[in-house]
Structure formats: C-alpha cells, structure tokens
C-alpha cells in the first residue's frame, strides 16, 4: 500500500480491443444472447480492471475474432430496423448531421466509418451509450471484472478509503458499466464516491485535470490520492499534480516501454495494494 492513501482514483479509459488500443477488456454477452456469437469488445474500459480473455473453450473457438465486433456495431442494425421512428431513438438519430440522419443505411455507414477511424464524435458517443444501456438493461451484456476488483472495493470502502473513477468514457457510461458487472454484488456503483471524465475534469494526460479533480474534494490533500492507470503519460500527469500514481499492468496489456519500471511503481494486481 502506498503511504497515507485516502483516495483511490482509478482510470477505466477508452477503447480496449484485442489489438490493445491501449489494453484489453471484453464485455461478455449474456449466455442466451441470440445476437452475439463471441465476446464483444468494450469501448469504454481499460483492461486493468476487467478480464481480458475467454474461457479455454471460447479461446479456441473465437481467438481470431477477439475484439472485431464491438457491441454497439453488433446491435445497431436491429436497433435501426426496430426503432427508427421510435421517439426514444429519434433524439439520437437526429443528433447526427442531416445527410446521415436521412436514412438507416446512411447512418449505419457513417457510424462504421467513424468507428473505423476512431473518431469520437459526441453524437456517436451518445448513440453508443444508448445501445450499451439497452444491452445492459436486457442482460445481453455485462462487464466481467478481474477477480480481485470487487473484494478490494469492499475492503477499501470498509477501511474508509474513497474510490473514484476517471475515464475518457462519459460518466453515464462509467455508471452503466459498474452497475452491471459479473461480480457479487453486480452493481458496484454504491462503492464509488465520484466519477470523472474529460468533460468535468479535462484531458487525462494534463496535470491541470488532476488538480481540478483534487479541488473538487479539498478534504483530501493531493499526496493522499493514488491514481492507477495503464497509461504512462497519465501516470506522469498525476505525479506532476502531486498525486501518488502507479502503472497497472494486467494480463493482455501490451508490454511496457523500456525504462517504465525503472521510473514508476508497476503493479499487476490490486492484491499488491
């Protein structure tokens, strides 16, 4: 455990495909899901929190397809066909530029193009959130945690240590994921004291973002915060703000660049904290 830690600030960041952008995380389809034949890649969580692989049988059956079918893309065609004129869906459709909101085909093609180019348009993020929420609410998908996460959340909470999340994914998406996990209990949101994203805090590689987060909880001096991330640039920014910060290297993450373990504390499990 780092000294005098009163706050764990956890990074669960953005896209996490099998080709490590920048790490691995998968969302598991419900066993009875008719729509998804393999585990789909989440685009909102870093793999240091979430299980990056399959069962042995699933590894044998779907290794070549890992991460190729993000859930939102899988769910989009059926959603467009069944909800195109639904008032609940219209606000997401109409947020797209007019030339793409004019037809199902144009919207679907534009979404595929944005995803292929990793363009984070706000209207795309909103649509993804809508699709994910439907999937989580239906039980079709859930967030598979590493085995050490839920017990550590409980232990930290019992010890009076605050747990907070800082992600490039939106706060609503963070709450959705932590509200639908494969742990017991499945909803871990009550253990989390606050949620931050690039809207309410700022870019995760900038020192000012961590200073802003600390200013929102002035009861905790900055040296009592421990920020955990698998992104070295983010760790550097947190350290620059006066936080403690460790690099988290989970199975499935790309190898760390040379020299990182000389400059930073690197952990591979929450059991090391």
Residue 78 burial (CB count, 10 A): 11
Structure tokens at 249: 């290297």
In a domain, 25, yes or no: no
Which range of residues forms the domain containing residue 198? 7-16+146-272
Give the 3-state secondary structure of residue 40: strand
In a domain, 160, yes or no: yes
Q: Residue 3: its pLDDT value, please?
A: 63
In a domain, 81, yes or no: no
Q: How far is CA 194 from CA 92, 103, 266, in A?
A: 27, 39, 25
Closest CA to 43 of 199, 169, 147, 214: 169
Query: How are beta strands 26-29 and 141-142 bridged, if at all?
Result: antiparallel
Q: Residue 244: its pLDDT value, please?
A: 96
In a domain, 107, yes or no: no
Q: Model-level pTM greater than 0.75?
A: no
Q: What is the pLDDT along the chain (273 residues), one digit of tens a residue?
A: 556 899 999 986 322 222 222 223 333 333 322 211 222 223 233 333 443 332 223 323 322 233 334 678 889 999 999 999 999 999 999 999 999 999 999 999 999 999 888 888 989 989 988 998 888 888 787 887 888 889 999 999 999 999 999 988 788 878 888 898 888 899 999 999 999 999 999 999 999 999 999 999 999 999 999 999 989 999 999 999 999 999 998 887 888 999 999 999 999 988 998
**Please, which residues bridge with residue 227 across strands?**
9, 245
Where residue 201 sits, what CATH number does that domain have?
A: 3.40.50.1000
Q: Residue 209: its pLDDT value, please?
A: 98
Q: Residue 115: its pLDDT value, please?
A: 87
Domain count, the chain: 1
Q: Residue 18: its pLDDT value, please?
A: 25
In a domain, 108, yes or no: no
In a domain, 134, yes or no: no
In a domain, 34, yes or no: no
In a domain, 140, yes or no: no
DSSP string, 146-193: -TTHHHHHHHHHHTT-EEEEE-SS-HHHHHHHHTSBSSSSS--GGG--
Structure tokens at 247: 């690099």
Q: Residue 1: its pLDDT value, please?
A: 53
Q: Are 30 and 74 in contact (CB under 8 A)?
A: no
């Amino acid at each position: 455990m780092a000294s005098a830690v009163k706050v764990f600030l956890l990074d669960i960041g953005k896209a996490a495909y099998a080709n490590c952008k920048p790490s691995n995380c998968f969302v598991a389809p419900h066993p009875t899901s008719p729509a998804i034949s393999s585990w789909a890649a989440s685009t909102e969580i870093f793999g240091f929190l979430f299980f990056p692989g399959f069962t042995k049988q699933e590894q044998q059956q779907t290794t070549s397809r890992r991460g190729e079918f993000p859930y939102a893309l899988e769910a989009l065609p059926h959603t467009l066909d069944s909800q195109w004129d639904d008032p609940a869906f219209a606000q997401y459709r109409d947020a797209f530029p007019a030339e793409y909101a004019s037809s199902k085909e144009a919207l679907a093609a534009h979404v595929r193009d944005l995803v292929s180019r990793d363009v984070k348009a706000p209207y795309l993020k909103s649509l993804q959130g809508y699709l994910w929420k439907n999937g989580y609410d239906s039980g079709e998908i859930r967030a598979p945690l590493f085995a050490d996460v839920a017990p550590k959340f409980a232990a930290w909470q019992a010890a009076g240590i605050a747990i907070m999340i800082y992600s490039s994914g939106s706060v609503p998406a963070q709450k959705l994921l932590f509200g639908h996990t494969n742990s017991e209990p499945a909803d871990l949101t009550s253990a989390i004291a606050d949620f931050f994203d690039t809207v309410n805090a700022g870019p995760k590689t900038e020192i000012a973002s961590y200073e802003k987060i600390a200013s929102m909880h002035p009861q905790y001096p900055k040296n009592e915060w421990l920020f955990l991330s698998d992104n070295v640039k983010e760790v550097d920014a947190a350290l620059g703000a006066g936080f403690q910060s460790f690099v988290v290297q989970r199975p499935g993450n790309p190898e760390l660049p040379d020299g990182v373990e000389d400059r930073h504390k690197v952990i591979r499990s929450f059991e090391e904290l």
